[in-house]
Structure 1
Amino acid sequence: MKAAVLTAFGSPLVVDTVPDPVIGTGEAIVDVVAAPVLAYADEVFSGARRYLLPPPVIPGCGAIGRVRTVGPDATVLRAGDWVFCDPTVRARDDAVMPDIVLQGWSARGEGGQRLQDHHRHGAFAERVRVPTENAIRIGPIAEAQAGHWCALTTLLVPYGGLLAADLRAGETLLVSGATGHFGSAAVAVGLAMGAACIVAPGRNAAVLEDLVRRFGDRIRPVALTGDEATDRARMTAAAPGPIDCVLDILPPSVDARVVRAAVMTVRPGGRAVLMGGVGMLGGDDLALPYPWIMRNDVTVRGKWMYPPDAVGRLAALVRSGLLRLEEYAVTDFPLNAANEAVAHAAATGGPFRLTVLRPGSGRENGTG
């Protein structure tokens, strides 16, 4: 089969013929129809993000495809089923604290790296091998829709955070990082889950205006000034009442003070979930005041990715019409243009934009 291979950090992807994946018990082989190219893929492949993805490796984080072959222990999954290939692979030998790897993307800890030795190669290929439970049926779709369904890879991340926050219909949500790729997805998912109002802070006025245009007056935009006290006051004033929940999903480059300003808008008894990358590149700690957390009975928790059942639940929101994949503009590339796709994703990444590889396509770049 053909695949795009990362031979070394800092080197371009090499599209070449590689051995077909070999199925084992508890696994499935999926024909990749569309694979998302994340906006920061160039930072991963250059080594700037220091991800544990030892080359040579076929990268690619998630895919939409059709099942080619299933193992002998599959009881429901069938050849031909349309599936989302969930890149979040969990070890099966510890139900309480499983090691986790993002297939074709990264691993954490010694156990995660051992898991990565087997579930190593990702979706920048004509076929991918995944654990059976990671080939999750999404129901029949037209092949032309596969690129839009790649938005699940983005939408699932904030969905995991909002599930962890126990967001309830009718509540007011603040999305810290609302103008970013994952933050704008959090806005869409929060509304689909029934948030009555979403406070959307950011510095990009055009994106804030676009969020209001897309979703209406349930969005309360806030232009950030960079002054912590001023921004906290502005965010609090923008809400129609107490802010029940804060989701932070800001990238590593942002100062921790921006996060603190947002988190400390939450009401007494409220919840804050941290999903971003702030602090990963150094800088000051978040430094939330102990007395404020304790006296106000505030719950602060971290969340990485999403629970195993999230894919099916999110797909149900799409099928119901509550979450519109059509909000995303999709630009697709054939596999032999993988490097062009990575460059395009870096240059155009942002709210409601997707760059997608079509491994089975030999056509020129186009928009789906």
Structure 2
Amino acid sequence: MSTTALPDSMQALILNSTSEPPIVQTVPVPQVTPGTAIVRVLVANIISYTRHIYNGDRKYPFPTPLIPGSSAIGRIVSLPSDATRLQLNDLVFIDCIVRSRDEPTDIFLAAIVEGGTPGSAKLMRDVYRDWTYAEYCRAPIENLIPLNERTLLGSPKEGGLGYTTHDLAYLAAILVPYGGLRGIRLEAGETVVVAPATGPFGGAAVLCALAMGARVLALGRNTASLAKLKERAPYTERLYTVPLTNDPATDLAALQQYGEIDIFFDIGPPEAAKSTHIKTCILSLRHGGRVSLMGGYHEDIPVPHRVIMHRNLTLKGKWMCERDDIFAMLKLVETGMLPLGKKGGVEVTAHSSMPALSR
């Protein structure tokens, strides 16, 4: 084991129950175990619906008490003896998708939901209950993805991209749609409909698809948000915004004016389960088109079976991303093809330190 000097205690956000808000408490710093490392958390994301996770609105199953969290950016401060690539002080992306080492289908989102199998629930409850809304986090070494600090944070005058650690936190949002787009084998030059495109993950999907070389039709109800997306996104010459009216004939005609469409990428929230856009976008696809289903619907959605069959369409579901998706996406970021921060039309609007959370 290799380690830097660590304090005995740290501040962490503790959720004792979904019936009461989390509170900042002083707790022991976690210790290294085989296969895990300790990371000092620099920036941790807050998902747009975080409040609804931890107040029980979304009814996600997870054990309490726990330290909440999501994916984050951190620096390694303690390593186990079985780590071979990671080094002390490495800047890393902390991936919140945790998989069992002996059964990869036992998978859960750390501190968010315990997954859908007895094995995933056991792993979260007994091993990885606490996560990144703390000064230090213990994580599986395979969940710590080394970042090219010199390239990502370095000065542009010295060949770097000039990002901040806050900019890098957006990697977590980008990874979700990137996993779906890569899974459906999006190719440069293809046309993809992203719907809805105005939410946090939909907007990230637009940026991903543009960086991957696609022409993007961004579909959404909020015309002001669509206009803002068009104004701030890179590669705007390949981005077209399409207002969603919820009249299927009108929406289909609006999409068809752009010619042949290869892919429909859906990432709607639970509230959009009864929206007409799903069927409309499927109907807009060319023969042999593909559909990536990443929406968070809690109920079955209707699809045009006859059209899917006759047009040889492919429907593929995707939950989050795979580990190799992270490395592939980082290549886009490190080469500047997928810009972050202001270059990518995304800015940090607010942030808080741990002491501020206690007030």
Structure 2 length as normaliser, TM-score?
Answer: 0.89
Moved more, 213-222 or 180-189: 213-222
Task: List aligned pairs for 1:318-337, cutoff 5 A.
Answer: 318-326=333-341, 327-330=345-348, 331-337=350-356
Task: List aligned pairs for 1:42-53, cutoff 5 A.
Answer: 42-53=51-62
Moved more, 170-179 or 135-144: 135-144
Q: Which residue type is aligned with residue 111 of structure 2? A: G
CA RMSD of aligned residues (A): 1.6
Q: CA deviation at 1:338?
A: 3.5
Aligned partners of 2:225, 2:202: CA distance in 1, in Å? 11
Partner SS state of residue 145, structure 2? strand
Quote the residue 1:145 is aligned against. Answer: 164
Are the counterparts in 2 of residues 256 and 286 from structure 1 also a CA contact under 8 Å? no
Q: 2:65 aligns with which of 31, 47, 56?
A: 56
Q: Which residue type is aligned with residue 42 of structure 2? A: V
Quote the residue 2:220 is aligned against. Answer: 202
Q: CA deviation at 1:148?
A: 1.0
Are the counterparts in 2 of residues 149 and 325 from structure 1 also a CA contact under 8 Å? yes
Quote the residue 1:107 is aligned against. Answer: 114
Q: CA deviation at 1:258?
A: 2.2
Are the counterparts in 2 of residues 244 and 266 from structure 1 also a CA contact under 8 Å? yes
Q: 1:272 aligns with which of 284, 291, 296?
A: 291
Task: List aligned pairs for 1:121-270, cutoff 5 A.
Answer: 121-140=130-149, 142=153, 145-195=164-214, 197-214=215-232, 215=234, 216-237=236-257, 239=258, 241-254=259-272, 255-270=274-289
Task: List aligned pairs for 1:298-317, cutoff 5 A.
Answer: 298-317=313-332
Aligned partners of 1:266, 1:21: CA distance in 2, in Å? 51
Number of paired residues? 331
Q: Which residue type is aligned with residue 119 of structure 2? A: G
Q: Which residue type is aligned with residue 266 of structure 1? A: L
Partner SS state of residue 57, structure 1? coil
Q: CA deviation at 1:277?
A: 1.3
Unaligned runs of 5+ in 2: 1-9, 155-162
Aligned partners of 2:356, 2:59: CA distance in 1, in Å? 25
- CA deviation string 1:56-115 (max 9, x = no partner): 1101011101001111111110010000000001111125xx210111211222221011
Aligned partners of 1:18, 1:56: CA distance in 2, in Å? 12
Are the counterparts in 1 of residues 194 and 264 from structure 2 also a CA contact under 8 Å? yes
Q: Which residue type is aligned with residue 250 of structure 1? A: G
Are the counterparts in 2 of residues 13 and 339 from structure 1 also a CA contact under 8 Å? no
Partner SS state of residue 49, structure 1? coil
- CA deviation string 1:184-215 (max 9, x = no partner): 100001011111x1011111111111222223
Q: 2:29 aligns with which of 20, 24, 28?
A: 20
Moved more, 16-25 or 296-305: 16-25
Aligned partners of 1:271, 1:339: CA distance in 2, in Å? 48
Partner SS state of residue 250, structure 1? coil
Q: CA deviation at 1:8?
A: 0.8
Aligned partners of 1:23, 1:104: CA distance in 2, in Å? 19
Moved more, 211-220 or 302-311: 211-220
Aligned partners of 1:292, 1:2: CA distance in 2, in Å? 56
Aligned partners of 1:160, 1:75: CA distance in 2, in Å? 26
Q: 2:102 aligns with which of 93, 109, 113?
A: 93
Partner SS state of residue 329, structure 1? coil
Moved more, 264-273 or 141-150: 141-150
Aligned partners of 2:294, 2:142: CA distance in 1, in Å? 24
Are the counterparts in 2 of residues 21 and 29 from structure 1 also a CA contact under 8 Å? yes
- CA deviation string 1:137-180 (max 9, x = no partner): 01215498111111011000000010111000110011011111
Partner SS state of residue 290, structure 2? strand
Are the counterparts in 2 of residues 260 and 286 from structure 1 also a CA contact under 8 Å? no
Are the counterparts in 2 of residues 13 and 338 from structure 1 also a CA contact under 8 Å? no
Q: CA deviation at 1:10?
A: 3.2
Q: CA deviation at 1:13?
A: 1.4
Q: CA deviation at 1:259?
A: 1.6
Unaligned runs of 5+ in 1: 341-368
